[in-house]
Structure 1
Amino acid sequence: MERMHGEGEVDHLERPSPLTDKEKVMIQDSWGKVYQNCDDAGVAILVRLFVNFPSSKQFFSQFKDIEDQEELEKSQQLRKHARRVMNGYNAVVESLDNSEKMVSVLRVVGKAHALRHNVEPAYFKILNDVILEVLAEAFSDVMTPEVAAAWTKLFASLYCTITAVYEELGWKKHSASTG
């Protein structure tokens, strides 16, 4: 059964300690291997998100009614969005040494998802967890426990930044919008 924690609320989390140089290198090296297969990895991540958390499809009018996993995988709209998601994460990974640039990227993403798409911030944590799960399976040679721990720390930081953007916007769950 799908479970949403803090649904409709912005979680208040303590910001994790900054990434070490070693953690940044591990993330960038592992991402380089993942990003070589950007389209397939992105589709696998979104399909897993939609299969494991079907309520996440409500934000996508183009494929919210597609139930069949194979049909989802073939959806051109899903492939396009998967590419955008992967490019967003790529921008973050590329800016690990430039916190201002990273925050700028996350502000754009946070504002769009809060104001235009009405996405609860909890979905960012869910997506990050799904990414870790998919990468651990698809890139097991790269995603060692140490690398996964670095990614977990990065994702906690990203989630804190995104939720801060939502808080700045005074975001409240507007409705059970389906589109």
Structure 2
Amino acid sequence: MGCAISGLAAKAEFGERNTGDDAAAPAAAAYLREDQIQMIKESWKVIRDDIAKVGIIMFVRLFETHPECKDVFFLFRDVEDLERLRSSRELRAHGLRVMSFIEKSVARLDQLERLDALALELGKSHYHYNAPPKYYSVRT
């Protein structure tokens, strides 16, 4: 997975034993201890209460800090006024879809096969949307 916590660094940080077969390393969630998974799930409950609002905040912040990313989203690429984006129904809908994906991922942190299948489906859909690979790092 192209997750920021994958690879050897995650093994060191989350206490996973090195199996010697890093090319076939399982999903990053395999590196999380049960107490860490529970902490993530408990933290998510706070975000879930305002899931649509958090989705908007996340995208507006992304576009503020990395304006070049806005070009990937044809609905938003010509919108210069970030205040207008904050009230956009389209951005709200997309933010909600992204946050819903995160919610499903959090729910599957202890079900690695289902988490991998979910990530694969997301990758397939973004491939069909012609999402530029330069925005995704690949780590094994």
Structure-1-length-normalised TM-score: 0.59
Whole-angstrom CA distance in 2 between matches of 1:31 and 1:121:
29
2:7 is the alignment partner of 1:14: yes
Aligned equivalent of 1:154: none
**Aligned partner of 2:66 among 53, 57, 76:** 53
Deviation, 1:35, is: 1.0
2:47 is the alignment partner of 1:34: yes
Deviation, 1:121, is: 5.3
Structure 1 runs of 4+ aligned residues shifted over 3 Å read: none
Aligned equivalent of 2:27: none
CA RMSD between the two structures: 2.3
Deviation, 1:63, is: 1.2
2:119 is the alignment partner of 1:106: yes
Whole-angstrom CA distance in 2 between matches of 1:71 and 1:93:
31
The residue type equivalent to 2:115 in the other structure is M
Structure 2, unaligned stretches of length 5 or more? 12-30
Q: State how 1:77-92 maps to structure 2 within 5 Å.
A: 77-92=90-105
Whole-angstrom CA distance in 2 between matches of 1:83 and 1:60:
15
Q: How many positions carry a matched residue from both structures? A: 117
Q: Show CA shifts across 1:43-99 (max 9, x none).
A: 000000011111111111111111111101011110000000000000100001100
Structure 1, unaligned stretches of length 5 or more? 1-9, 124-158, 168-179
Structure-2-length-normalised TM-score: 0.75
